[in-house]
Structure 1
Amino acid sequence: MFSRPELFDFHGVAMTPCVTNNWEKVRSFQARPDDILIATYPKAGTTWVSYILDLLYFRHLSPERQTSIPIHERVPFLEIAVTPGASGTELADKLPTSPRLIKTHLPVQLVPKSFWEENCRIVYVARNAKDNMVSFYHFDRMNQVQPEPGEWSSYFQRFLDGQMLYGSWYDHVGNWWNKKKSYPKLHYMFYEDIAEDTEAELDKLCSFLGLSPSAEEKQAILELVHFDNMKNNEMTNCSKLNFLDFNISPFLRKGKVGDWKNHFTVAQNELFEEDYKNKMNDPTLQFRTEI
């Protein structure tokens, strides 16, 4: 059995030991110029975009790779260190593929400086706060190395207060959005756009990466990354991770935009909207809560 951790303040951000235990190696991680970093707040489409990128670059390497190596090994989680198993930095250092695809949930200010020094390409994915909160709640329920989520009503308040692993959603999406203004190699995507028109978002991603897959390759990728196919694929649904309890909830749950309506009460929605108005002060960063 895993013991549930408590959150603690780490450089001004709420964290847990499985993120900070390996911090010296994370901080000093040496990026390479062709690395691609996939950055997200937790439960914002990380696995989805990781799989899209992996298929764009490595689908033709070998059939065995697609059927025997889970996505969390193909795209290591940089800062994670859950025993047993190799840490994210070790997995990243051992990656045989180039470019290396590496994922992180770190807020922009905690990203290892070598990624900026090497001028790496970064793909950031943001999801509207309401759906993100609901997805995070169900994830915390089933993830034995996350803090205990408690009841939905208290979780809702914790999210508004920013007392979540990796800190405030507002800070995370907002600070990464600001970074885009000064760092041209950052491609900022929205979960809702990917859900609405995956092909259009795939085209934008390819344009950013300088890739030009054939029409056939694109269709094959779009089929593979369809949510239902990913949910049923043992290499993408994280069913092999022993700290995730699928009896409580699947890792890939619904993948829908607007599921928050099944969780928010009218009073919670009013409270959320008021809070949102106070905290989302950049009019250029716009989210959709339904499509």
Structure 2
Amino acid sequence: GTHWLWEVICMLTEGKAERLQLEKEHYMIENSSSKTLDNLKEPRVLNAHVYIEQVPECLLENNKIVLISRNPKDTAVSWYNHNVADVETDYTGKFPAFYELFRVGNVPNGDWFNYNKTWWEWSKGRPNVLWVTYEDAKLDLKSVTKKIAKFLEIPASDELCQAIAHECSFKKMKAEKHNLLPFELRGDMSFYRKGQVGDWKNWFTVAQNEDFDRIWDEKMKDCDLPVQFTI
């Protein structure tokens, strides 16, 4: 979802539905030095997969922040396939083994619940923060694009938002972005796999689904984070 959102915002800031020949990873705060980020052309569209405490206070308070979340079941499937495909990660286990790691947060980038709940609670009441979901973007990317443009105070016509939504469709992204990835993928595997909502149903067993639902009920009982497991 972060790759997707970054493309949309880059096009909005440029004012045209044209894909920039840039690697998103060069704009990640955890991958670059502060000097490198300071030297980037403004407006800078930075991105990250980090916890709040890892972000400099000046970035949290003095900038507009768009957060995106995806339901944890699809996240587990997506994250599994990413780690299998990435040569550097070199994960060779099967999904059942990965699920056991994911359910307790013992995977790269940590626990889904802790990560999303922390950001969600922090974001409440902050006018410089917009929260969107992967599922809403899949349902109507044009509407989400318009919402982001309004939040960022970027003039964007209905036609531009429609064009950006078209250029940032999963099919277009998969066809045009695979050559710009900064990491090596195993064999003929693709970073852009399906991009579907509800694909977890093809991976989770009945027992895994029931187990995760129990975890969900316990960990999310006091959290009102909007989550859609299907659309």
**TM-score with structure 2 setting the length:** 0.91
Partners in 1 of 2:28 and 2:71 — Cα distance? Answer: 22
Which of 55, 60, 64 is the matching residue for 1:111?
55
Tell me the number of residue pairs that the alignment of Structure 1 and Structure 2 aligns: 231
- Cα deviation for residue 151 of structure 1 reads 2.0
- The question of 1:220 aligning with 2:163 is answered yes
The AA in structure 1 aligned to 2:37 is: A
- Cα deviation for residue 243 of structure 1 reads 3.0
Secondary structure at the aligned position of 1:257 is classed as coil
Partners in 1 of 2:15 and 2:150 — Cα distance? Answer: 18
> Identity across aligned pairs (percent)?
32
Task: State the partner residue of 2:2.
Answer: 46
**TM-score with structure 1 setting the length:** 0.73
Task: State the partner residue of 2:11.
Answer: 55
Q: Kindly indicate whether the alpha-carbon contact (under 8 Å) linking 2:73 and 2:200 is maintained by their aligned counterparts in 1.
A: yes
Instruction: Give 1 or 2: higher strand fraction.
Output: 1
Q: Which has the higher contact order (CA 8 A, sep 6+)?
A: 2
Task: State the partner residue of 2:86.
Answer: 143
Q: Kindly indicate whether the alpha-carbon contact (under 8 Å) linking 1:131 and 1:257 is maintained by their aligned counterparts in 2.
A: yes
**Superposed CA offset, 1:120-178 (max 9, x none):** 11110000000000000000011123362522111101111111112110011111110
Secondary structure at the aligned position of 1:189 is classed as strand
Partners in 2 of 1:251 and 1:165 — Cα distance? Answer: 16
Instruction: Give 1 or 2: higher helix fraction.
Output: 2
- Cα deviation for residue 256 of structure 1 reads 0.4
* Matches for 1:158-237 after TM superposition, within 5 Å: 158-233=101-176, 236-237=177-178
Partners in 2 of 1:116 and 1:287 — Cα distance? Answer: 24
Partners in 1 of 2:29 and 2:48 — Cα distance? Answer: 6
Task: Decide whether aligned partners of structure 1 residues 149 and 88 sit closer, same or farther in structure 2, where only a CA change above 3 A counts.
Answer: farther
Secondary structure at the aligned position of 1:104 is classed as coil
- Cα deviation for residue 116 of structure 1 reads 2.7
Which of 84, 97, 102 is the matching residue for 1:154?
97
